[in-house]
Amino acid sequence: MKRFKFIEKKNGNIKDDVLSGFTVALALVPEAVAFAFIAGVSPVVGLYGAFMMGLITSIFGGRPGMISGATGATAIVMVSLVKIGTDMGGEGAGLQYLFATLLLAGFIQILAGVFKLGKFVRLIPHPVMMGFVNGLAIVIFTAQLGMFKVDGTWMQGTELYTMLGLVALTMGILYIFPKITKKVPAALVAILSVTILVSFGGINTETVLTFIQANGGTGIQADLPSFNVPMIPFNLETLYFIAPYAAIIAAIGLIESLMTLNLIDELTETHGNANKESIAQGAANMVNGFFGGMGGCAMIGQSMINIKSGGRGKLSGFTASITLLFFILFGAAYIEMIPIAALVGVMFMVVIGTFAWNTFNVVNKIPKSDAIVIVVVTLITVISDLAVAVISGVIVSALVFAWENAIRIRARKFTDENGIKHYEIFGPLFFGSTQLFMSKFDAKNDPKEVIVDFGESRVADHSGIEAINKLTRKYEQEGKSIKLRHLSQDCRKLIDKADKIIDVNIIEDPEYIVAVDNFEDYEVK
């Protein structure tokens, strides 16, 4: 199946950044409100969070074009935090504990960026990436289904048909309008067109205002966020309570942000700075803690809307956040008029563009282990959360890689004219292959002299070193001579009694570095 062409490979410009930023701001409102309700806080806290996350990451972040705001992944963690905090300190205390947790979570994320841990996103295998985008597309899709409920019950009859019709109209405009012109974002045209049709056509359907009211709110009018230190006791008991939540929020936020960064890199054929983005995300969460927002991380849906609408630079995210603030302060009445159907239609098109449709083509052509990883990550993303899914996928991929390399080690054996037995080792020697490596040798029945050649092998870790030490001791106990050839200088330093058993050939011996020795000097920058 051919993948739906959702992203144009193009360079950004000021006009596209401003217009796409305005479009994103429209889509941020109901998302921020919905996630605030999930977390158990006021809609204004969600809107503040989206504004501050977007503003700071757009200015200081490492991935132009990526949109950050209040997200469902972090909101789910906050539910328990706010509830327990309220039980501990009374009405309003849960929110204060949330703000304090954001301060600590932000600090953890800043440390991750300072110590350059963001680069480890490169270790995420492609099957995990495919599972991530597929699972996230499903999550975005199922999240929109909740918009088809009123007061907790599914829409029926005329109300349902009206909603479906407006969603279809929005998706049709998004599909057709770019064929006419690409000078104006199709998403913006679709939202404005459907809003005008509903407002002046007398069509009765769910709007942003009715959605907020149905969830216990009154509107989105608010003032500028103000600085406040969280009003909680600063002691070890508080630290013990908020630390686990902070660690989880920090981890989920970083993983989702860096995975989104990776995806946008791939779609736009550009490169972001993961460590810089980590620092910006942390700073944004800390600002939320001091100014009363719910925090968050990168938003895949809004980021996709942005780059689809032509947003490529920092100006697009900056425009989205400033426009959102303008909506909060002055334009609430107009934003509340937007039909939910228009926003759902936009998000459905995001789903189509996000899902890796080529999965169905490659699933029968790739190794079964990779196909399993794709399915596992997709299911866990849908059932649990992104962080657990990605970590699980990486672990499964690492175990498969270790197993496949463990069984590749082999030895070619022959005895020369002098009666000396040679073992030529092929494949990596590491923790997973040491047992198979040891099984290749027959110390009891081998001749008095044995030579083991590592010219085609790579000693990868300390387990490999210990296996070699164990092998040499076994031959020594049998009263036999064993010589090791073509080991790196680092291996020779770590081998017991190396000066007695190792033949050194300065010209031929490898120069690679054992993973356990001087690794920091050979770190990939």
Q: Spell out the alpha helix ranges (H) of 269-313.
A: 274-291, 300-308
Residue 508: the pLDDT is 63
At 480, is the pLDDT very low, low, confident or very high (cuts 50, 70, 90)? very high
Contacts of 55 (CB under 8 A, 6+ apart): 284, 317, 318, 321, 322, 325
At 504, is the pLDDT very low, low, confident or very high (cuts 50, 70, 90)? low
Is this model's pTM higher than 0.75 or not? no
The span from the CA of 111 to the CA of 314, in Å, is: 23
The span from the CA of 354 to the CA of 136, in Å, is: 8
| pLDDT tens, position by position, 186-198 | 888 898 999 999 9
- Of 67-71, 345-349, 479-483, minimum mean pLDDT range: 345-349
Residue 520: the pLDDT is 43
The span from the CA of 104 to the CA of 110, in Å, is: 10
Contacts of 228 (CB under 8 A, 6+ apart): 99, 290, 291, 292
| pLDDT tens, position by position, 416-433 | 999 999 999 999 999 999
| pLDDT tens, position by position, 291-313 | 999 999 999 888 988 998 889 99
Residue 497: the pLDDT is 65
- Of 32-36, 158-162, 246-250, 418-422, minimum mean pLDDT range: 32-36
The span from the CA of 488 to the CA of 210, in Å, is: 70
| DSSP code of residue 421 | E
Topology of domain 407-522 in CATH is Transcription Regulator spoIIAA (3.30.750)
Ranges of CATH 3.30.750.24 domains, the chain:
407-522
- pLDDT, mean over the chain: 86
Task: Assess whether pLDDT exceeds 80 at residue 455.
Answer: yes
Residue 98: the pLDDT is 95
Selected residue with higher pLDDT from 5 and 206: 206
